Chain A
Amino acid sequence: MANDYKKEEEILGKAYDSKLMKRLLSYTKPYKKYIIFAILMNIVVASLGPIRPYLTKIAVDDYIANSDYKGLMIIGLLLLASLLFQAVMQYFLIYFTEYLGQKIIYDLRSQIYSHVQKLALKFFDRTPIGRIVTRVTNDIESLNALFSSGIVMVFSDIFIILWIFGFMFFLDVNLSLVTLSVLPFLFYGTFLFRRKVRESYRDVRLHLARLNSYMQEHITGMNVVQIFNKEKSELKKFSSINNDYRKANIKSIFYYAVFFPSVELISSVAIGLIIWYGGGNVISSTLTIGVLFAFIQYTEMFFRPIRDLSEKYNIMQTAMASSERIFKLLDNKTFINNSETTINFENVEGEIEFKNVWFEYKENEPVLKDINFKINPGETVAIVGATGAGKTSIINILTRFYDIQKGNIFVDGKDIKELNKRDLRKYISIVLQDVFLFSGTIRSNISMDNSEIPFDNIKKAAELVGADKFIEALPNKYDEMVMERGATLSVGQKQLISFARALAYNPQILILDEATSSVDTETEGLIQKAIEKLLVGRTAIVIAHRLSTIQNADKIIVLHKGEIRETGNHQELLAKKGIYYKLYQLQYKDQEINKSA
């Protein structure tokens, strides 16, 4: 993941938060039975390791001492059996708990993705896409450890420790107490180490983030560095950040260097105590050598579960930080809501009316002011205006991507606020200026992966807009893969595909935001023909950049600074010599010259 360096939202030590934890645990509910089963299994499996030193004690005291070959063999076979059984059970337990964890993560990811799909465009305007992506991917990922190994396996570690205690006390209470006297040091040392490492690791990450963002920034701006001749001094700066990173790393080495030998020392102290105290008891014949034997093996068994426990503590802390961000997104309710009772919306004719419509993105900065117009079914209306006149906003509010502040919009005489959004959008197709192609095939891009649209209709749509010629020429025709948002296709081809897409849905109302980008004359001819086909037999609103489209429109609306300033057809408006006349000279006249040329 080359992009990881970007993820600088430092996951810092978040204190335990029971509310968050409760909410997190609620995701395990559907799998409650399995989890309880896994925990119960753990109790059994955890005993299999600690039972072996006990068995060796029997071997030493009862069989080796009495030269009982058969007894020794039985113990040998028992040891083998417990070992094999443990290995197999452990494997399945790990697999099972991982599977549960992955399932929970899958559910959570699905939930958050569905949630985001339903959020209004307003949310997407305000939130950088990268951040939303991080929530759905990396943040969820960091919960993985909690669900897969954290929740269930914590019990495994605890049970192992308890079993060891049990066997030890069963063998000899006093020796157990003496041996376990080192345990507090071990616990304390391990958790102290975890804390220190965590702190120093945070330091390391902080410096690494600095280093990475320095590199990221300076690779992007390398030409500035070179133009200003700053290579030498930048190298100095880089070295100092690099040096901080090195220092932080070397500091963290120290903790490891102290910790591992300390653990070994503690275990040696335990062994030493067993030899001294236990050995004394052996001399006085109150203890057998086999018990010493078993105890020496137990001292080596403690460390792993304790270390794992301290690790789980870290996992939980990390999960806290991520889950807080995830839940914040899940609690975001920027929706465009359907009204409580929606009107039936069928057999749409396609009549559109705007009545005293006011609209603003930011408070008190209206982009549309008192807009009034009516379009009869089957009519084509062209909207023209300079950049920033408010043309795109008209599309946005007609499809309820945004809600208007004042006035009403009617389709077939029904206020769109009373309609179900889905119904409304079903009858309206939009062709946007920037054609957005999804990864997939040409076919899936035309149908938007809708299996209800038969392939014949897809083909027919492509034929009608004249996209079939280039599609048929592709090696895999309609099944040709679309690479990276259509990088291998020309601008014109992409537009034809988006026309076919709109046509395949056969909408009653078509909204077309014509692209301004220039294409070669041949493609231009194709596009013009395609647009003519598109407009036939439906109500259409076109944000027009083509002279031909405007000339063919039933009505032209001239939008200027958020207001309708002129309406009429091409000839009428030209004769007025007003705004339209100027726009015509600015944008459309050249097309006439080119056409005649």
Chain B
Amino acid sequence: MKNLYTLKKYFVRYKKKLFLGILFILLSNIGTVYIPLFLRDAINGLQNQISLEKLLYYCILIIGASAVAGFFRFLIRETIIVVSREIEFDLRKDFWKHIQKLPLRYFQNNSTGNVMAHATNDINAVRTFLGPAVMYSLDTSVRLIIVISIMISLNFSLTIYSLLPLPILSFLVYKVSSIIHFKFTKIQEKFSELTTKAQENFSGIRVVKSYVREENEILKFNEISKDYLKKNMNLVKTQALFYPLLFLITGLSIIIVIWLGGIKVIENQLDLGEITAFIVYLGILIWPMIAFGWVINIIQQGEASMKRLNKIYSEPFEITDSENTDYSIKDLKGDIEFKDVTFKYGNNLPKILDGINLKIPHGSTLAIMGFTGAGKTSLINLIPRLYDCTEGKILIDGKNIKEIPLNILRSNIGLVQQEAFLFSDTIKNNLSYGLDDFEENKIFNAAKLSNLDEEINSFPNGYETIMGERGITLSGGQKQRASLARALVTNPQILILDDSFSAVDTHTEEQILKNLIDYTHNRTTIIISHRISTVKNADKIIVLNNSKIVEEGTHDQLLAKEGIYSDLHFKQLLEKELEEI
């Protein structure tokens, strides 16, 4: 229960509504328990020459009591269950607020599916605890106390005998539902095995077909499918117990009332009216007794989920402002310096960057080249502090970036990532993503700079066209250019292009680079690329290899060196020639 204690603050927030809910539970139960009493009086009256008017009076009382009980029952749901939805809202909001601040490292170590599972399944389990579990346990307790005391006042021994089976019911419901829960997870495991098998087969269908293994694959799939069937039947074995047991036990109680009660009537210790009341009371108690067993399970599951959520809440933010943050910094100019920077993704992992020293003066352009895995992306990711460097420091305008307020730092950097990620929203909203206020001119300008304007206008709804799953699919090159435009819109002092033209054809790329000459004139620019044509005009080019800077200089200087750069240059010329044959 200690994990669920975290929820206390939410309960406190809605204490007024919750108290009302408890009051309604009390009132509704009072209404409910009167019905059997009226019924008793009516039946007893029938044996003593009651008048028709009196019967009608009881009839109206029964309906009236039921109406009162029902009215408050309605209010119970409208308070307690509603509160559970309110708390769910708060819970999810707080979850999201927290998630947003977690460092990139967290998202790289935890798959999206994993984080989603927490956001959906776990929060849902906690919600079920908050709503139904709380409501039913309160309702059950209140009802038990009132009904049992009335029953005892009617007849003590019959109460004891007839209620004997009900605790067994609670226990069985608890047992059966926890077995069901366990077996259900087994089924889910099998189901995901089935899914994986299908997924694997469809992905490797080429291999399957080339080795003519279709029949065998069908056999294997059927085997898992059969296993899945078995697991399901195993669950059915338990689940099928549920209703029969329920009827058996409740039926048992009623038989006890009729048999024992009948004997008592014969012996004049009890009237038929009381027996009727008993039977109806048992009907009232059955559901709460079932709920009792069920609630225990929900609490257990809620506890387990809350534990997982709490683990996320204890996840450190890592990259935030600290006590050293200098909030007087409002603007950045863009002189960047790397001083002996070393970077690893984890303590035991190899160095991705090793002793990097680099100066990128304001207004200049740096190009970075190197093979895949050389550390290019890692290097530029350090500048907006997507990661913090392991050793050494990075300065902007002579200030350690760890001392610059994070929002100032990031709002001055326009980072265009290798894999352009756009949201499924309109093009306009995507391009204006970095703006606080929407400014049409800026967007059009950026789109023009990125050579995207014409294409956007050719889309069915122009800038209002929705992209992504529910809209049009952009080509890789279009996505990259949109992502470039999105960064340009924010007018950053530092512009970083991480291989952002890889899917753009060379001709378009050249045009964009030409467009950008003016734009980058007063900004610091860093370009990662595999293409010589992209980098050759940079003020400085560095080549990264095995975590280190191995070549450094201008295009001409590097060509003269006959190293990696000049080799790439030669090969790209060849490719171009081949292309033209």
B557 CB-CB contact with A under 8 Å: no
Contact call B85/A425, Cβ cutoff below 8 A: no
Contact call B39/A275, Cβ cutoff below 8 A: yes
Contact call A76/B237, Cβ cutoff below 8 A: no
Segment from B239-247, B457-465, B473-481 that makes contact with A: B239-247
- Which among A114, A219, A439, A449 has the greatest number of chain B C-beta atoms within 10 A? A219
A429 CB-CB contact with B under 8 Å: yes
Contact call B62/A271, Cβ cutoff below 8 A: yes
Contact call A121/B218, Cβ cutoff below 8 A: no
B152 CB-CB contact with A under 8 Å: no
Contact with A along B38-69 (1 / 0, CB 8 A): 01001100110110100110111011011101
Segment from A24-32, A406-414, A577-585 that makes contact with B: A577-585
- Which residues of chain B are near A559, meaning CB under 8 Å? none
The smallest C-beta distance from B350 to any residue of chain A, in angstroms, reads 16
A515 CB-CB contact with B under 8 Å: no
A367 CB-CB contact with B under 8 Å: no
- Which among A87, A129, A267 has the greatest number of chain B C-beta atoms within 10 A? A87
Cβ-closest chain A residue relative to B103: A226
A151 CB-CB contact with B under 8 Å: no
Contact call A275/B62, Cβ cutoff below 8 A: yes
Contact call B577/A2, Cβ cutoff below 8 A: no
State the majority secondary structure of interface residues on B.
helix
B73 CB-CB contact with A under 8 Å: yes
- Which among A56, A59, A105, A260 has the greatest number of chain B C-beta atoms within 10 A? A56
- Which residues of chain A are near B211, meaning CB under 8 Å? 425, 429, 448, 450, 501, 505
Contact call B120/A94, Cβ cutoff below 8 A: no
Scan residues 177-210 of chain A and give those whose CB is less than 8 A from a CB of chain B: none
- Which residues of chain B are near A256, meaning CB under 8 Å? 77, 81
**Cα distance A235–B94 in the bound complex, in angstroms:** 10
Contact call A219/B107, Cβ cutoff below 8 A: yes
**Cα distance A223–B413 in the bound complex, in angstroms:** 13
A1 CB-CB contact with B under 8 Å: yes
Q: A83-B255, A129-B203, A222-B107 are in contact. Are A72 and B433 (CB under 8 A)?
A: no
A279 CB-CB contact with B under 8 Å: yes
B503 CB-CB contact with A under 8 Å: no
Contact call B411/A229, Cβ cutoff below 8 A: yes
Segment from A167-175, A239-247, A373-381, A462-470 that makes contact with B: A239-247
Number of interface residues of A (CB under 8 A): 134
Contact call B245/A69, Cβ cutoff below 8 A: no
- Which residues of chain B are near A118, meaning CB under 8 Å? 214
Contact call B220/A72, Cβ cutoff below 8 A: no
**Cα distance A26–B462 in the bound complex, in angstroms:** 50
Scan residues 411-428 of chain A and give those whose CB is less than 8 A from a CB of chain B: 422, 425-426, 428
Looking at the complex, which one of B199, B225, B424 makes contact with A110 (CB distance below 8 Å)?
Answer: B225
Contact call B101/A425, Cβ cutoff below 8 A: no
Looking at the complex, which one of A90, A262, A272, A289 makes contact with B59 (CB distance below 8 Å)?
Answer: A272
**Cα distance A585–B567 in the bound complex, in angstroms:** 11
Contact call A293/B276, Cβ cutoff below 8 A: yes
- Which residues of chain A are near B243, meaning CB under 8 Å? 90, 94
- Which residues of chain A are near B247, meaning CB under 8 Å? 49, 83, 86-87, 90
B161 CB-CB contact with A under 8 Å: no
The smallest C-beta distance from B251 to any residue of chain A, in angstroms, reads 4
Cβ-closest chain B residue relative to A99: B233
Cβ-closest chain B residue relative to A584: B574
Contact with A along B185-225 (1 / 0, CB 8 A): 00010011011111111111111111111101110111001
Segment from B111-119, B288-296, B305-313, B359-367 that makes contact with A: B111-119
Cβ-closest chain B residue relative to A444: B220
Contact call B415/A227, Cβ cutoff below 8 A: yes
How big is the B interface, by class? 35 or more
Contact call B99/A219, Cβ cutoff below 8 A: yes
Contact call B77/A242, Cβ cutoff below 8 A: no
- Which residues of chain A are near B49, meaning CB under 8 Å? 283
- Which residues of chain A are near B262, meaning CB under 8 Å? 59-60, 63-64, 72, 76
The smallest C-beta distance from B58 to any residue of chain A, in angstroms, reads 6
The smallest C-beta distance from B113 to any residue of chain A, in angstroms, reads 5
The smallest C-beta distance from A44 to any residue of chain B, in angstroms, reads 15
Contact call A238/B93, Cβ cutoff below 8 A: yes
**Cα distance A349–B434 in the bound complex, in angstroms:** 66
Contact call A386/B578, Cβ cutoff below 8 A: yes
B180 CB-CB contact with A under 8 Å: no
The smallest C-beta distance from B494 to any residue of chain A, in angstroms, reads 12
Contact with A along B115-137 (1 / 0, CB 8 A): 11101110000000000000000
- Which residues of chain A are near B101, meaning CB under 8 Å? 231
B263 CB-CB contact with A under 8 Å: yes
The smallest C-beta distance from B13 to any residue of chain A, in angstroms, reads 14
Contact call B386/A226, Cβ cutoff below 8 A: yes
**Cα distance A279–B47 in the bound complex, in angstroms:** 10
**Cα distance A110–B217 in the bound complex, in angstroms:** 11
Contact call B81/A242, Cβ cutoff below 8 A: no
**Cα distance A88–B240 in the bound complex, in angstroms:** 10
- Which residues of chain B are near A56, meaning CB under 8 Å? 258
Looking at the complex, which one of A72, A215, A222 makes contact with B266 (CB distance below 8 Å)?
Answer: A72
- Which residues of chain A are near B347, meaning CB under 8 Å? none
The smallest C-beta distance from A300 to any residue of chain B, in angstroms, reads 6
Contact with B along A63-102 (1 / 0, CB 8 A): 1100101001101100110011011101100110011001
- Which residues of chain B are near A582, meaning CB under 8 Å? 574, 577-578
Q: A220-B112, A275-B62 are in contact. Are A52 and B191 (CB under 8 A)?
A: no
- Which residues of chain B are near A300, meaning CB under 8 Å? 283
Contact call A279/B581, Cβ cutoff below 8 A: no
The smallest C-beta distance from A28 to any residue of chain B, in angstroms, reads 16
The smallest C-beta distance from A440 to any residue of chain B, in angstroms, reads 9
Segment from A11-19, A132-140, A323-331 that makes contact with B: A132-140
B78 CB-CB contact with A under 8 Å: yes
**Cα distance A253–B131 in the bound complex, in angstroms:** 11
Looking at the complex, which one of B198, B214, B577 makes contact with A137 (CB distance below 8 Å)?
Answer: B198
Contact call B490/A228, Cβ cutoff below 8 A: yes
- Which residues of chain B are near A228, meaning CB under 8 Å? 410, 433-434, 490
The smallest C-beta distance from A512 to any residue of chain B, in angstroms, reads 12
Contact call B206/A121, Cβ cutoff below 8 A: yes
Looking at the complex, which one of B74, B229, B255 makes contact with A261 (CB distance below 8 Å)?
Answer: B74
Cβ-closest chain B residue relative to A92: B240
The smallest C-beta distance from B255 to any residue of chain A, in angstroms, reads 5
Contact call A227/B384, Cβ cutoff below 8 A: yes
- Which residues of chain B are near A21, meaning CB under 8 Å? none
A436 CB-CB contact with B under 8 Å: yes
Contact call B251/A52, Cβ cutoff below 8 A: yes
Q: A121-B205, A242-B89, A560-B581 are in contact. Are A67 and B266 (CB under 8 A)?
A: yes
Q: A90-B247, A246-B85, A246-B88 are in contact. Are A79 and B62 (CB under 8 A)?
A: no
Interface residues of A (CB under 8 A from B): 1-5, 49, 52, 56, 59-60, 63-64, 67, 69, 72-73, 75-76, 79-80, 83-84, 86-88, 90-91, 94-95, 98-99, 102-103, 105-106, 109-110, 113-114, 116-118, 121, 124, 129-130, 132-133, 136-137, 141, 212-213, 215-231, 233-235, 238-239, 242-243, 245-246, 249-250, 253-254, 256-258, 260-262, 264-265, 267-269, 271-273, 275-276, 279-280, 282-283, 289, 292-293, 296-297, 300, 386, 399, 401, 422, 425-426, 428-430, 432, 436, 438-439, 448-450, 485, 501, 505, 560, 579, 582-583, 585-586
Given A87-B247, A289-B43, 20 other A-B residues pairs in contact with their CB atoms under 8 A: A3-B113, A49-B247, A64-B262, A79-B255, A91-B240, A102-B236, A105-B229, A116-B202, A117-B208, A132-B202, A219-B115, A227-B413, A246-B89, A275-B62, A276-B52, A425-B210, A432-B206, A436-B207, A560-B581, A582-B578
Please name the 4 residue pairs, one residue from A and one from B, whose CB atoms are nearest each other, closest first: A261-B70, A268-B66, A257-B77, A76-B259
List 30 A-B pairs, Cβ < 8 Å: A59-B262, A64-B262, A75-B258, A76-B259, A83-B248, A90-B240, A91-B244, A94-B244, A124-B205, A212-B119, A213-B424, A215-B116, A218-B423, A223-B104, A224-B421, A227-B415, A229-B410, A231-B100, A242-B92, A242-B96, A249-B85, A257-B77, A261-B69, A261-B70, A264-B66, A272-B62, A399-B209, A448-B207, A505-B211, A586-B574
